[in-house]
């Protein structure tokens, strides 16, 4: 059993004048609860801290540090790291960082660039008037420095907003390289005009050491750099996540325009109006000398266009993409030598390596959301390929912690955007069971048993009707996404309203979750939680068409869709072999064309488990699935089978990288399939 590490900090939470006396805004609520929130008056705040200190001898030194929303750390002018991973205030992450190699005997300088975004979105728990920094520097066994009001503090005036990306996901940045605070991290920077930091009056965090790794960084050099009439066209060879970096010199107060994109237009220009509803146009305002751009927030891009003002020159050797990602070491090999399957494998590996961040997100530009449903598939693939279970544990535990909002859990974790999708919470229960089968850690199931029980009991008590079926759901049932891939699923499942109708797919997921919980309960010696045989009988009675030997979508329709039958097959709900064979025939016809994210995975899982290996291969090689992405020049998996799958398709979306699980043997060997 892994004990969580906590720390009693010597330092206190510090901030600037604007935030020191603000009471936090409680931004959490049920999705359909329309109670208006008190809006924050602060957005896009870049707040700097500096402190000089002396060390008389060097010893092994650890910095314990956290910030809300985020920090970037520098010691003696050198970048060290950034964080923390998103989390809720009552279980907030701090980082333990070995800084020994950054320190020198004598005078040292620590500088921290913190950020409060202030938007209600899927990225951070922001918009809550919480900002601050806390740290302790431990040298040997002594605390040599801690955060207090002797730290110098200032607003970084280099940063202003040019607009917003995605669903209020981030600000497009204008970086003024001539601002007074440029170079604030350097030891010789003059901070005499700065104010002293202030203690935060309302600091109700409970701090825990982050149990996931810190990000790693790579310099990705261009594969192509070309002069254009306006400046430069640059191709980094693949989609990555990170920051554009370059150095330029030009007339003071003129600006270099930076366009980043994931693809090219028909005219072979950078498409910076991304399909995913992001306009990636930013600027660096020049100082008159040589300036290096330092955008704070990250983007997903492959191509960059620089539009230079008259007389401006670019140092071509300075250009690179500063990629950021979770540590990734591939530990497994594909189980095929088929060249087409190997291309799909490589696509998935690249996506997982460069897409996983401090948390598993859905798309890397429009939302950057820590989505529970998407994440269940992605953390499983990431864990199998790397042997690293840390991101899977974080998803499981942070999902269960969201019970303070609702016992039925929320959809998007560690953020201030409130959404609830009914299937996603239920998907968590089988994932916990799979985690136990993969890693078998003593105490893991016991510690999470009560949270899983509370989740399932909330569904039973709130939504289960007298027929044993879920109905009157005030959580959105997504079934499949996007909508055209639901195969005409004949239920009104519009988001933002209560779905009164008992329908097939959510009830299938409910039974699957209870089955998984029964296995957990039995393993712990508590016996069976619910009679799933009776639940299955109720399901078949409600949805099975005995004449057609297939499943209907709801109790109020005769319509038969592929999602309804795929989940019945995947979760072993078919009443007889004839039904199973009919669904397999239906799969041969409709798999891929009538399924995508949330139906394709359980279908593939069921086919693999039942030995239908040729059908698995046919789906993987279907010309309208992963091969279509590759035909459309994908270097990372899309938010769908093709670029035009939906109106705002992300071209760097992690979910469909789960194909990798079906192209290696590691997962199946370890769970006994």
Residue 14 confidence (pLDDT) = 98
> Is 107 within a domain?
yes
506 and 359, same structural domain?
yes
Residue 521 confidence (pLDDT) = 98
Domain boundary, last residue among 109, 134, 158: 158
pLDDT tens digits, residue range 207-265?
999 999 999 999 999 999 999 999 999 999 999 999 999 999 999 999 999 999 999 99
> Is 141 within a domain?
yes
> Is 467 within a domain?
yes
pLDDT tens digits, residue range 296-331?
999 999 999 999 999 999 999 999 999 999 999 999
477 and 413, same structural domain?
yes
Residue 2 confidence (pLDDT) = 76
pLDDT tens digits, residue range 69-85?
999 999 999 999 999 99
Residue 37 confidence (pLDDT) = 84
pLDDT tens digits, residue range 503-528?
999 999 999 999 999 999 999 999 99
pLDDT mean over 652-673: 96
Residue 34 confidence (pLDDT) = 84
Q: What percent of the chain has pLDDT over 90?
A: 98
Domain boundary, last residue among 117, 132, 158: 158
> Is 194 within a domain?
no
pLDDT tens digits, residue range 73-131?
999 999 999 999 999 999 999 999 999 999 999 999 999 999 999 999 999 999 999 99
Task: With beta carbons less than 8 A apart as the criterion, state whether 368 and 169 touch.
Answer: yes
618 and 491, same structural domain?
yes
pLDDT mean over 447-455: 98
Residue 38 confidence (pLDDT) = 86
139 and 236, same structural domain?
no
Which of 405, 447, 406, 410 has its CA nearest to residue 428?
410
Task: With beta carbons less than 8 A apart as the criterion, state whether 214 and 83 touch.
Answer: yes
Residue 1 confidence (pLDDT) = 57
pTM score of the predicted model: 0.97
Residues 101 and 358: their CA atoms lie apart, in Å, by: 24
> Is 297 within a domain?
yes
Helix runs in 221-302, H state only: none
Q: What is the mean pLDDT of the chain?
A: 97
Q: Give the rounded distance of the alpha carbon of 339 from its chain centre.
A: 30
226 and 284, same structural domain?
yes
> Is 178 within a domain?
no
> Is 247 within a domain?
yes
482 and 386, same structural domain?
yes
Number of domains in the chain: 3
pLDDT tens digits, residue range 488-502?
999 999 999 999 999
Domain interval for residue 262: 217-325
539 and 658, same structural domain?
yes
642 and 543, same structural domain?
yes
- The residues near 21 (Cβ < 8 Å, ≥ 6 apart) are 201, 202
CATH of the domain at 612: 1.50.10.10
pLDDT tens digits, residue range 272-298?
999 999 999 999 999 999 999 999 999
For the record, the structure tokens of 423 come out as: 């299937």
Buried (b) or exposed (e) across 580-619, using 16+ Cβ within 10 A? bebbbebbeebbbebbbbbbbbbbbbbbbeeebeebbbbb
78 and 118, same structural domain?
yes
538 and 470, same structural domain?
yes
Question: What CA–CA distances, in Å, run from 314 to 218, 373, 384?
Answer: 22, 44, 43
Question: What CA–CA distances, in Å, run from 384 to 166, 432, 443?
Answer: 31, 15, 21
> Is 188 within a domain?
no
pLDDT band at 54, cuts 50/70/90? very high
150 and 230, same structural domain?
no
Domain boundary, last residue among 134, 158, 182: 158
354 and 303, same structural domain?
no
């Amino acid at each position: 059993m892994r004990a969580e590490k906590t720390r009693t900090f010597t330092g206190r939470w510090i901030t600037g004048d604007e935030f020191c006396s603000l009471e936090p805004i409680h931004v959490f609520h049920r999705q359909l609860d329309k109670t208006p929130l008190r809006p924050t008056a602060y957005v896009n705040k870049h707040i700097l801290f500096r402190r000089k200190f002396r060390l008389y001898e060097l010893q092994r030194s650890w910095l314990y540090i956290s910030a809300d929303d985020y920090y970037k750390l520098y010691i003696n002018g050198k970048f060290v790291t950034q964080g923390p991973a998103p989390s809720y205030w009552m279980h907030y992450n701090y980082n333990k960082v070995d800084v020994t190699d950054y320190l020198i005997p004598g005078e040292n300088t620590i500088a921290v660039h913190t950020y409060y975004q202030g938007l209600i979105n899927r990225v951070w728990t922001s918009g809550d008037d919480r900002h601050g920094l806390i740290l302790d520097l431990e040298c040997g066994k002594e605390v040599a420095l801690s955060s207090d009001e002797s730290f110098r503090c200032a607003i970084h005036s280099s940063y202003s907003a040019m607009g917003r990306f995605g669903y209020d996901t981030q600000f497009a940045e204008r970086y003024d390289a001539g601002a007074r605070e440029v170079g604030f991290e350097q030891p010789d920077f003059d901070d005499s005009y700065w104010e002293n930091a202030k203690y935060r009056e309302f600091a109700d965090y409970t701090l825990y050491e982050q149990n996931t790794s810190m990000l790693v960084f790579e310099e990705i050099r261009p594969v192509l750099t070309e002069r254009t009439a306006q400046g430069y066209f640059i191709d980094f060879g693949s989609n990555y996540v990170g920051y554009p970096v370059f150095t330029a010199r030009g007339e003071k107060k003129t600006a270099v325009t930076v366009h980043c994109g994931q693809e090219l237009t028909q005219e072979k220009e950078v498409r910076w109006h991304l399909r995913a509803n992001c306009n990636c146009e930013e600027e660096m305002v020049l100082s008159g000398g040589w300036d290096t751009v330092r955008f704070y927030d990250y983007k997903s891009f492959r191509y960059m266009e620089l539009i230079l003002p008259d007389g401006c020159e670019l140092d071509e050797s300075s250009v690179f993409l500063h990629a950021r990602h979770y540590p990734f070491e591939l530990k497994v090999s594909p189980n095929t030598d088929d060249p087409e399957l190997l291309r799909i494998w490589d696509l998935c590996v690249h996506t997982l390596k460069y897409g996983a961040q401090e948390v598993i997100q859905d798309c890397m530009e429009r939302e950057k959301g820590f989505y529970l449903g998407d994440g269940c598939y992605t953390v499983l693939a990431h864990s199998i390929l790397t042997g690293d279970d840390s991101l899977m544990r974080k998803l499981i535990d942070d999902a269960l912690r969201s019970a303070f909002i609702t016992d039925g859990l929320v959809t998007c974790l560690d953020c201030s955007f409130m959404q609830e999708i009914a299937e996603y919470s239920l998907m968590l229960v089988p994932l916990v069971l799979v985690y136990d089968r993969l890693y078998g850690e003593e105490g893991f199931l016991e510690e999470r048993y009560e949270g899983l029980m509370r989740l399932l009991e909330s569904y039973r008590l709130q939504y289960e009707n007298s027929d044993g079926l879920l109905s009157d759901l005030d959580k959105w049932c997504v079934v499949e996404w996007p909508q055209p891939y639901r195969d005409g699923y004949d239920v009104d499942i519009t988001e933002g309203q209560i779905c009164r109708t008992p329908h097939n797919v959510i009830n299938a997921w409910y039974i699957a979750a209870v089955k998984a919980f029964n296995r957990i309960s039995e393993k712990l010696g508590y016996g069976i939680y619910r009679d799933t045989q009776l639940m299955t009988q109720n399901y078949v009675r409600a949805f099975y068409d005995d004449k057609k030997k297939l499943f209907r979508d709801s109790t109020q329709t005769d319509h038969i869709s592929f999602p309804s039958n795929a989940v019945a097959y995947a979760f072993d709900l078919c009443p007889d072999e004839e039904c199973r064979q009919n669904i397999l025939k239906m799969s041969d016809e409709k798999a891929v064309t009538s399924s995508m994210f949330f139906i394709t995975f359980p279908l593939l899982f069921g086919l693999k488990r039942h030995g239908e290996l040729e059908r698995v291969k046919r789906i993987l090689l279907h010309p309208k699935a992963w091969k279509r992405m590759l035909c459309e020049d994908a270097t990372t998996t899309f938010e769908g089978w093709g670029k035009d799958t939906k109106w705002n398709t992300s071209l760097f979306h992690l979910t469909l990288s789960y194909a990798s699980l079906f192209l290696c043997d590691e997962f199946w060997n370890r769970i006994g399939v």
